[in-house]
């Protein structure tokens, strides 16, 4: 990859955005049980997962067993947190707990009236419990009716504890690690599938017939992992994203996590140099710590920038070059423009070349991450086209959040020995 002249991103194409486009929207079909493989689920685990994650919406919990206390009967994360404070404290800091944040809420509040089927499809991953659905579809004639069990507070919790752990009020979790003396909610069903990557695939992998561009699914994290050395070594999503079973799920929005994802090295320039020589340096970005492509989705972008600085630390005019790591599509997701993501274990070499106009120069390199690059444009487009209507305030908030999410993971200034 070669660093390119920085050109103005043509944001004008924003008007092409379809009203409710979402990068992740087309994966609603059920993810099929995978064949047994070393790192994949055993047949028993696959069976469990097929039952645990069936359909778009998790079936209604029904009524709690009579011997449950009100606390045990609650589906609310804060109530689970009374007895499971560690998981609750972790979960609250994550995007799973904010999966019904302003970006999603602002879109689905409008859709709810105009296109409830699409809204339900979004909630499949963002708020999947029946008790989180405001509307239900009559099986007989397909009409949408108010859901008497709807709990707006619970919907606001997004991907809440119960979505992963509770079915018909019964708790499911990984096998206990120690002896537990006390027991609540009638104990729990121990399932080794909780420790497998396949547990996450329901929402982090599109089915084979999901939306794809250039022959590549829009969401392919599980398959990327399956093709990597991590899968061969039995290193699951949980090993990196839930170390010691912690409910952390850090990803592209977390500077510390992203610094662990890649190793960046700069080689060259060959000192000493002469005025008039062309400086050449190679910036290598190695995906050394990500169990899938870096980054896995179309929404983030990673900007690698290099430029010359003069003795006063001022940029040398015209010397700034930029390469972008990510997958770029048209705003309506109909066409892929480029895909420079780095597969697990792979690297890219980015070449910086520029003539040296004078002595006393430095080469400055910076790598910046914009986790919500796509969404920033998308929200701006929604607001400009005036289509956000009822969800406008939420979309405005989502735009601010997206703009604030970028950070720098690498900075280096090399002094050049120019004679």
Give the footprint of ligand HEC on residues 190-249 (CB under 6 A). 194-195, 197, 199-200, 202-204, 221-222, 225, 230, 235, 237-242, 245, 247, 249
Cβ-based neighbours of 19, under 8 Å, separated by 6 or more: 382, 385, 387
Strand stretches in 82-225, DSSP E: 135-137, 144-146, 166-167, 170-173, 189-190, 212-213, 216-217
- Residue span binding ligand HEC (CB under 6 A) among the ranges 129-137, 138-146, 250-258, 312-320: 250-258
Contact status: 125 vs ligand HEC (CB under 6 A): yes
Q: Closest CB to ligand HEC among 92 and 362? A: 92
Element (H, E) at 351: strand 347-355
Q: Closest CB to ligand HEC among 162 and 365? A: 162
Q: Closest CB to ligand HEC among 6 and 83? A: 83
Q: Closest CB to ligand HEC among 118 and 130? A: 118
Least distance (Å) from ligand HEC to the CB of residue 215? 19
142-155 b/e (C-beta count within 10 Å ≥ 16 → b): eebeebeeebeebb
Contact status: 377 vs ligand HEC (CB under 6 A): no
Positions in 302-331 near ligand HEC (CB under 6 A): none
Q: In degrees rounded to 5, what are phi and psi of residue 183?
A: -140, 145
Alpha-carbon distance of 95 to 261, in angstroms, equals 18
Least distance (Å) from ligand HEC to the CB of residue 52? 9
Inter-axis angle of helices 102-114 and 116-126, nearest 10? 150
C-beta nearest to ligand HEC: residue? 291
Contact status: 79 vs ligand HEC (CB under 6 A): yes
Alpha-carbon distance of 235 to 39, in angstroms, equals 8
Contact 289, 280 (CB under 8 A): no
DSSP class per residue in 232-283? HTT--HHHHHSGGG------TT-HHHHHHHEEEEEE---SSB-TTPEEEEEE
* Residue linked to tokens 């870096």: 294
Please pick, from the candidates 3, 49, 252, 285, the single residue that binds ligand HEC as defined by CB under 6 A: 252
Q: Closest CB to ligand HEC among 75 and 333? A: 75
- In angstroms, the Cα distances linking 221 to 197, 235, 275 are 10, 14, 48
Contact status: 289 vs ligand HEC (CB under 6 A): yes
- Residue span binding ligand HEC (CB under 6 A) among the ranges 9-17, 83-91, 264-272, 384-392: 83-91
Least distance (Å) from ligand HEC to the CB of residue 368? 14
Q: Closest CB to ligand HEC among 70 and 313? A: 70
Grouping H, G, I as helix, E, B as strand and the rest as coil, residue 344 is: coil
Least distance (Å) from ligand HEC to the CB of residue 365? 19
Please pick, from the candidates 17, 52, 91, 323, the single residue that binds ligand HEC as defined by CB under 6 A: 91
Please pick, from the candidates 40, 116, 269, 300, the single residue that binds ligand HEC as defined by CB under 6 A: 300
Strand stretches in 98-213, DSSP E: 135-137, 144-146, 166-167, 170-173, 189-190, 212-213
Least distance (Å) from ligand HEC to the CB of residue 282? 22
- Residue span binding ligand HEC (CB under 6 A) among the ranges 142-150, 183-191, 315-323, 350-358: 183-191
Least distance (Å) from ligand HEC to the CB of residue 149? 15
Q: Strands 170-173, 189-190: parallel, antiparallel or unpaired by DSSP?
A: parallel
Contact status: 39 vs ligand HEC (CB under 6 A): no
Nearest to 58 by CA among 167, 205, 144: 167
Element (H, E) at 206: none
- Residue span binding ligand HEC (CB under 6 A) among the ranges 36-44, 116-124, 142-150, 353-361: 116-124
Q: Closest CB to ligand HEC among 27 and 269? A: 27
In terms of Cβ atoms closer than 10 Å to its own Cβ (0-12, 13-18, 19+), residue 292 is buried
Positions in 141-180 near ligand HEC (CB under 6 A): 159, 161-166, 171, 173-174, 176-177, 180
């Amino acid at each position: 990859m070669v660093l390119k002249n920085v050109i103005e991103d043509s944001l004008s194409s924003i008007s092409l955005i379809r009203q409710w486009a979402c990068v992740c929207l087309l994966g609603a079909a059920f993810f099929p049980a995978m064949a047994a493989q070393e790192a994949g689920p055993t047949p028993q685990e696959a069976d469990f997962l097929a039952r645990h994650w069936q359909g778009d919406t998790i079936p209604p919990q029904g009524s709690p067993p009579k011997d449950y206390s009100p606390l045990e009967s609650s589906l609310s994360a804060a109530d689970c947190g009374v007895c499971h404070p560690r998981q609750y404290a972790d979960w609250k800091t994550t995007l799973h707990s904010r999966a019904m944040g302003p970006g999603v809420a602002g879109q689905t509040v409008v859709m709810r009236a105009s296109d409830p089927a699409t809204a339900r499809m979004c909630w499949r991953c963002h708020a999947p419990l029946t008790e989180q659905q405001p509307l239900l579809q009559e099986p007989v004639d397909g009409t949408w009716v108010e859901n008497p069990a709807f709990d707006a507070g619970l919907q606001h919790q997004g991907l809440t504890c119960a979505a992963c752990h509770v079915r018909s009020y019964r708790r499911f979790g990984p096998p206990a690690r120690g002896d537990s003396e006390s027991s609540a909610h009638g104990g729990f069903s121990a399932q080794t599938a909780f420790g497998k990557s396949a547990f996450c695939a329901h929402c982090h992998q599109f089915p084979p017939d999901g939306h794809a561009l250039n022959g590549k699914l829009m969401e392919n994290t599980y398959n990327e992992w399956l093709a990597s050395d991590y899968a061969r070594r039995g290193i699951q999503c949980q090993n990196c994203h839930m170390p010691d079973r912690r409910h952390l799920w850090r990803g592209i929005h977390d500077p510390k996590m992203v610094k662990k994802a890649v190793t960046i090295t700069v080689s060259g320039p060959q000192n000493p140099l002469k005025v008039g020589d062309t400086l050449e340096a190679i910036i290598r970005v190695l995906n050394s710590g990500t169990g899938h492509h870096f980054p896995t989705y179309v929404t983030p972008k990673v900007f690698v920038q290099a430029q010359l600085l003069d003795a006063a630390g001022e940029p040398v005019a015209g010397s700034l070059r930029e390469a972008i790591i990510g997958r770029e599509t048209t705003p309506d997701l109909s066409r892929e423009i480029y895909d420079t993501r780095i597969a697990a274990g792979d690297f890219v070499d980015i070449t910086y070349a520029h003539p040296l106009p004078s002595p006393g120069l430095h080469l400055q390199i910076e790598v910046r991450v914009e986790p919500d690059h796509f969404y920033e444009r998308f929200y701006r487009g929604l607001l400009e086209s005036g289509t956000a209507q009822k969800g406008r305030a939420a979309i405005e908030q989502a735009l601010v959040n997206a703009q604030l999410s970028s950070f720098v993971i690498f900075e280096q200034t090399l002094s050049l020995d120019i004679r």
